[in-house]
Structure 1
Amino acid sequence: MYVLGIHGTFGRADHDAAAVLIHDDRIVAAAEEERFVRYKHAVGLMPDYAIRYVLREAGISMREVDVIAFPRATWLDFAPRFEAYLWYQFGHAPDIEYVDHHLAHAASAYLISGFDESLVVTADQAGDGICAAVFRAAAGKLTPVETVPFPDSIGLYAAAMTQYLGYRSSHDEYKVMGLAAHGTPYPHQSLMTLDAGLPHLNTALLHREVFHRHPLFHTDQLPMIASDTLPGFPARRLPGASLHAEHANVAATAQAVIETAVHALVERHRQPGDTHLCVAGGVMENSVAVGKLLTHAGFTDIYPAPACGDAGTALGAALVVAAAHGHRPARLENTQLGPAFTESDIDTVLRDCAITSTVTDDPADSAAELLTQGQIVAWFQGRMEYGPRALGARSLLADPSTVAMRERVNRIKRREEFRPFGPSVLAEHVHELFGRTDIRAPFMSFTLPTADRDPIIAATHVDGTSRPQTVPAGPGVYRRLIERFHACTGVPAVLNTSLNSGWEPIIADPAQALAFFFSCPADALVIGSRIITKRDGRR
């Protein structure tokens, strides 16, 4: 049975268009539209290219898809346009099942977690009129326990505070999270409070059009917070204005509120004996808040969705439909579900661009040697990752043991100096760096205190925490690279960040990789079996 999960929209202020194809209990392919159209978050688009990719990967046409799953249950005007779109673009419209948005979020974590029983918590700005939801999961079934209706939204609060700090709402919340570690929370704030463990948004402080979900808020052409100055806070920071200590304090306040609200929602429903927690929804992309659930709330294992944002609802909706027909995939720890490119594909691009290169018999060994020489390596191997993180297929890599590397990589990425990086760590060495033996973090989804920061100082934040990706034993080329680097340096990790810069989506294909490499001061590009340096360049 083929189930095609689709998330997207026709011009609405909605984001993260994506497509996922499941065959029985196997996830065949998954991709986000932004990677193909080069438009971050693909706001207002349907995933035309992503759909074509996943069908091509399976070698099928739309006529062979049994069911399409769509993660919105209340878009009453959407169905006729969606069916017309499918006929126009693909020549066929299979049966369509509409799945509740937060159920799709929940499924995108639980149904691929490998857990039998789990508490499941989702939180975002809003979806199908709901801002957060709690489920009890057992034996492959999700039972709703409680929902938080719009507008009492942790995600809306995060977006409003992001915009208040001069950043783009629904895009730059992670910048606020990084800035927060440099500040001290203000003792009082009035925008969000808790009522019996549930978030309550002070709507009197927000622009009234927020409640109509006006699309201009997503382009930051309208202020979400009505006043230029929140009570007890410094004035709103204008985009591009200088950053001062007071702005870090605002960020720290926002982060503290988000953490408190998330933790209260979890604790409201946690029962004695709960050891597993699944989380999803855009709020759960806050890796600091999720990490503190692991370190402070006492769960033995937390499984964040591989794509916590709305791209993940394409996966979740497909999983819900597949589960209804008796199919559930095994635990997912590898998100390389996107397009791959052959050596012939790579050679064609190099030839067309008149780029010279060196062939290596072992890309992992060659890249590790470059890293030990203090070089920064653009790394392009295998299938592209699905989800917001580069996890060893489309990555920018560096030696994590030198502070100077953080500054160099920041220049390459053209990003703010206050933002942290994360390490990819050999799973059996996690205890050396983080003091714990029970950590599984395949998606770089949560932040933890470091036990020994020196080996990963360039990937350690100012507060002594780091956001690791654990890389288990296996035959993968990325695993071999880290093993080789460890053998040469004694450091069981590499600094890993996404292969992109600025507002650009993660690199998808060889031509984009070349354009990125020759537009930045990275030292080498290892793409397939080819090594390109700035000395090579054009013929």
Structure 2
Amino acid sequence: MRILGINALFHDPAAALLIDGRTVAAAEEERFSRRKHGKRPLPFSAWELPEQAAAWCLRRAGLRPQDLDAVAYSFDPRLARPADAMGLDDPWDHLRQTYAREAPNFLRTALPGLDPDIVRFVPHHMAHAASGAFAAPDAGASSVLVLDGRGERASHLAARRVGDRLEPLHAQDLPHSLGLVYEELTEHLGFLRSSDEFKVMALASHGTPRMLPELRRHVYATGDGGFRATGVPWHELCAPRGADEPWTQAHADVAASAQAVLEETLLDLARWLHGKTHDSVLTLAGGVALNCVANSRIAREGPFSRVWVQPAAGDAGTALGGALLLAAGGGDAPEPMAGADLGRDWSDAELGAWLKTAAVPFDRPPDIAATVARALADNQIVAWFQGRSEYGPRALGHRSLLAHPGHAGNLERLNDVKGREQFRPVAPMVLADRAPDIFDGPMPSPYMLFVHDVAGEWRERIPAVVHVDGTARIQTVDPAAEPLVARMLQEFERLTGLPVVVNTSLNTAGRPMVDDPRDALECFGSSPVDLLAMGPYAIRRGDAFRTHDDEEL
């Protein structure tokens, strides 16, 4: 079957294409529109579809809309209830249901030739669950835990995969929502709600959970597979922070307290689920599963032998999950994800044409991996644009900013390049066979969805990637899966003795990750990056741009 998955209703609109159970393409609309998260999650924007992402997925496979057998839309309006009946203060929420019901006709307009009768509504959390259970490698019979802000009427789903079926076990109805509680705190701390929750997680490492007893009164597991999470009096715990105001210790402490109560609740939910299924494997999905600190605690203290997290755990992943669920139900055996590099790419000739059009000096060194390793060893910052772009929010060696981990100042330097807060860490990529020597935590970790303790003797050797709490969110690199990245890491280790390179996303603050060559050139041109490695080509700042002394300015 040829199945197109669509996520559109809330945020992170995305499309994914499956052919006979295999994922052919997946992409988020933000990478085309250059609008962070594609849109804001407002009822008035619920009609907006991932038109460009969907059209590209079809082009990638050489298909027309009329060639599709089914379209999975990851929200089922038939399950929704009025906002006030769910305890939500959202007088315009009914627009979401209205727009969702009309999605088949909207899709017919966006994709001319599409038969609206092939559009299937997939429950939001079942789509999340399928994105974990069916995409995980060697999962077989496994447990699934989904947590996010909200779906049709719930904020959580515990389920089990048995063969090609998903069996729901428990769902927590709204208004109780761990995701919405974390969103409320994000806004209280002066960050952008439904966007900057990862900043709260980073800030938590700078605080102590002294407000945990108070938060436990409002957020806790109920022992039956559900939880309570609503009505937290944030204003009583600390003063709100303005977006342009510095954070205080009280802000860090409330973030640490919220992080702690989230982890406790997730552990209780995981233990309840394991008690029902006795599975060895747990898969996680939903926006809360992007909290790598909580994921690590579940892996470390929870009852499951292995934890796998969908790399596109947020709503974008429901495009893939919805398609996987329809594929499994239609008799196609879903194939696990081979990697997150499911987006666009360009041939060497096409990249060369882009560079000629941009009229920037460039060259083609014998080995771009060796050239980049040498630049990094010389403490240059490198923009790395290689292969297919990533599906999900993590840069995994295809659209990355790279730097030397041995210089502590490179953390501040990269945060300045990206224009973001200095309390935020950057991540290391490391050769998979060397990772256990340096980091302690779940292995392998190819998607940067866990944090690992950094061995004491290594903390001084790679200070740029060590967070204030002594951890790092690592990406392990398998040479068989990522030969070019592995070759660069091997050469960097030969030059420096360090099998680790700093890896952060190739973008600047408030903008989506770079996706196409124009994005890469614009980012390179507007940021103090020393080298752009685009495919086999090297573009050097000193050659492309004339620098000016202060006296000239």
The answer to whether the superposition gives a TM-score over 0.5 is yes
RMSD over aligned CA atoms reads 1.8
Q: Is 1:304 the counterpart of 2:309 in the alignment? A: yes
* Counterpart residue type for residue 199 of structure 1: F
CA deviation profile, 1:1-31 (whole Å, cap 9, x unmatched): 210001114xxxx201000000012110000
Q: Distance in 2 between matches of 1:126 and 1:493?
A: 38
Match of 2:477 in 1: 471
Q: Is 1:442 the counterpart of 2:442 in the alignment? A: no
TM-score by length of structure 1 reads 0.91
Unaligned runs of 5+ in 1: 206-224
Contact 1:275 1:299 in 2 (8 A): yes
Q: Distance in 1 between matches of 2:200 and 2:443?
A: 26
Q: Distance in 2 between matches of 1:459 and 1:423?
A: 6
Q: Distance in 2 between matches of 1:169 and 1:100?
A: 24
Contact 2:23 2:337 in 1 (8 A): no
Match of 2:370 in 1: 365
Q: Distance in 2 between matches of 1:489 and 1:333?
A: 31
Contact 1:500 1:506 in 2 (8 A): yes
Q: Is 1:178 the counterpart of 2:202 in the alignment? A: yes
Match of 1:87 in 2: 108
Match of 1:199 in 2: 227
Match of 2:214 in 1: 189
What is the correspondence of 1:379-528 to structure 2 with a 5 Å cutoff? 379-435=384-440, 439-451=443-455, 452-474=458-480, 476-528=483-535
Match of 1:237 in 2: 241
Q: Distance in 2 between matches of 1:281 and 1:202?
A: 18
Q: What displacement does 1:328 show?
A: 3.1
Q: Distance in 1 between matches of 2:165 and 2:454?
A: 36
Q: What displacement does 1:363 show?
A: 1.2
Unaligned runs of 5+ in 2: 40-44, 79-96, 547-553
Q: Distance in 2 between matches of 1:435 and 1:84?
A: 51
Q: Is 1:263 the counterpart of 2:267 in the alignment? A: yes
What is the correspondence of 1:152-171 to structure 2 with a 5 Å cutoff? 152-171=176-195
Q: Distance in 2 between matches of 1:370 and 1:193?
A: 49
Match of 1:70 in 2: 73
Contact 1:18 1:311 in 2 (8 A): yes
Identity among equivalent positions (%) equals: 38
Counterpart among 131, 148, 151 of residue 108 in structure 1? 131
Q: Distance in 2 between matches of 1:324 and 1:281?
A: 21
Contact 2:23 2:335 in 1 (8 A): no
Contact 2:290 2:449 in 1 (8 A): yes
Contact 1:134 1:147 in 2 (8 A): yes
Aligned partner of residue 146 in structure 1, secondary structure: strand
Deviates more, 1:162-171 or 1:427-436: 427-436
Q: Is 1:334 the counterpart of 2:310 in the alignment? A: no
Q: Distance in 2 between matches of 1:328 and 1:414?
A: 44
Aligned partner of residue 4 in structure 2, secondary structure: strand
Q: What displacement does 1:478 show?
A: 1.4
CA deviation profile, 1:285-327 (whole Å, cap 9, x unmatched): 1110001111222533211012010000000000000111222
Contact 1:259 1:289 in 2 (8 A): yes
Q: What displacement does 1:177 show?
A: 0.4
Contact 1:73 1:98 in 2 (8 A): yes
Q: Distance in 1 between matches of 2:367 and 2:484?
A: 9
CA deviation profile, 1:141-175 (whole Å, cap 9, x unmatched): 21111100011100000000111111111111100
Q: What displacement does 1:346 show?
A: 2.0
Q: Distance in 2 between matches of 1:130 and 1:385?
A: 29
CA deviation profile, 1:383-432 (whole Å, cap 9, x unmatched): 11111111011000111122111111111111111111111111111111
Q: Is 1:99 the counterpart of 2:99 in the alignment? A: no
Aligned partner of residue 126 in structure 1, secondary structure: coil
Aligned partner of residue 108 in structure 2, secondary structure: helix
* Counterpart residue type for residue 113 of structure 2: H
Q: Distance in 2 between matches of 1:256 and 1:234?
A: 17
Aligned partner of residue 358 in structure 1, secondary structure: coil
Contact 2:77 2:101 in 1 (8 A): no
Q: Distance in 1 between matches of 2:462 and 2:337?
A: 27
Q: Distance in 2 between matches of 1:192 and 1:37?
A: 39
Contact 2:222 2:228 in 1 (8 A): no
Contact 1:301 1:439 in 2 (8 A): no
Contact 2:13 2:50 in 1 (8 A): yes
Contact 1:71 1:100 in 2 (8 A): yes
Q: What displacement does 1:481 show?
A: 1.1
Corresponding pairs, count: 510
Q: What displacement does 1:82 show?
A: 1.9
Contact 2:30 2:36 in 1 (8 A): yes
TM-score by length of structure 2 reads 0.89
Cα distance change on mapping 1:300 and 1:400 into 2, 3 Å: farther
Contact 1:112 1:331 in 2 (8 A): yes
Contact 2:221 2:268 in 1 (8 A): no
Aligned partner of residue 495 in structure 1, secondary structure: strand
Counterpart among 38, 43, 66 of residue 42 in structure 1? 38
* Counterpart residue type for residue 189 of structure 1: E
Contact 1:423 1:495 in 2 (8 A): yes
* Counterpart residue type for residue 446 of structure 1: F
Q: What displacement does 1:195 show?
A: 4.6
* Counterpart residue type for residue 219 of structure 2: T
Q: Distance in 1 between matches of 2:50 and 2:297?
A: 34
Q: What displacement does 1:333 show?
A: 4.1
Q: Distance in 1 between matches of 2:230 and 2:103?
A: 36
